[in-house]
Amino acid sequence: MSHVARAIRAFARFWWDFLVGDTPEFAVATLAVIGLAYLMRDSHLVAAIALPLVTATFLLASTYRGRLKKEPEQAQDQRD
């Protein structure tokens, strides 16, 4: 494999890990918020109200999901 191809693959892996990483829902949420902002580009008042609400909803859902993942691990640690 050539050095250029290896460099391109390494660069792509870096960006994948940076943007998606451990929580792919953040990448999906970011794309969804950007898409909504694009769709609401002509209605500024609705966008100013809806986009922060949608963003907060995504963050709360992600936090809740993260807590559900951590609870079984904490219960395991307490038993040991």
Q: What is the enclosing helix (H) or strand (E) of 11?
A: helix 3-19
- Would you say 36 and 50 are in contact if contact means Cβ atoms under 8 Å apart? yes
Distance of CA 47 to the CA centre of its chain: 20
Q: Would you give the distance in Å from CA 79 to the centre of its chain? A: 32
pTM of this prediction? 0.66
Helix %, strand %, coil % of the chain (to 5):
85, 0, 15
Look at the chain and count its residues: 80
- Across the range 4-11, mean pLDDT stands at 93
35-53 per-position pLDDT tens digit = 999 999 999 999 999 999 9
Position 69 scores a pLDDT of: 78
Q: Output phi, psi for 41, to 5 deg.
A: -60, -20
Give mean pLDDT, residues 28-34: 91
**pLDDT of 79 strictly over 70:** no
